[in-house]
Amino acid sequence: MRLIPLPADTYHALADGDLAAANRVAPVELTPYFVNPRWLPGWGRASARVRADPGVADWLAGAIAGPDGVVGRAGYHGPPDERSAVEVTYEIEPAWRRRGYARAALNALVARAVGEPGVHSVRAVIRPHNTASRRLVVTSGFIETGEELPDGPWVVYERALP
């Protein structure tokens, strides 16, 4: 499993739902799942952030590559916040779930955060019904914080870094 960063223009094309344009600039062939209507608002936020600050692209979700191609996306919602925390995002395409890709991606994201100066914690914000993802973060050392978010319902987890 490898996490593949995406160039800025890829976010703009994905925000428009244009898979063909995204694939013209992406370093790997993205699947139709990348223009899933549920993902489009996130790509729109990523596109806006990259337009405001191109350096942000290094912190945003990229592709997860397995041995047979792209299996999902993973990264952060952005650079470290005012609390020196990064928030992870990941999703595996349905056909590739339950094969360890989410765990491998989460482990890679935590490992990167550990190596980044000034990052002190990693957050995961998960819908209450997503029991598989909630179980994954708990078994990966995250603790439920009980924090409430205004656009919930969400369950917030955090993992302090060494």
What does 115-142 look like in DSSP terms, one character per residue? HSTT--EEEEEE-TT-HHHHHHHHHTT-
Give the per-residue pLDDT at 80. 97
pTM for this prediction = 0.94
Nearest one of 92, 78, 89 to 125, comparing CA atoms: 89
Q: Contacts from 49-53 at CB under 8 Å and sequence distance 24+?
A: 49/78, 50/8, 50/11, 50/12, 51/12
Question: Coil, strand, or helix at residue 60?
Answer: strand
Per-residue pLDDT of the chain in tens (162 residues, 90 and over written 9)? 999 999 999 999 999 999 999 999 999 999 999 999 999 999 999 999 999 999 999 999 999 999 999 999 999 999 999 999 999 999 999 999 999 999 999 999 999 999 999 999 999 999 999 999 999 999 999 999 988 778 889 999 999 999
Q: What ranges in the chain are assigned the alpha helix state H?
A: 8-15, 19-25, 40-52, 101-115, 131-139
The pLDDT value recorded for residue 146 is: 86
Pairing label, strands 121-126, 85-92: parallel
Can you give the pLDDT at residue 150? 81
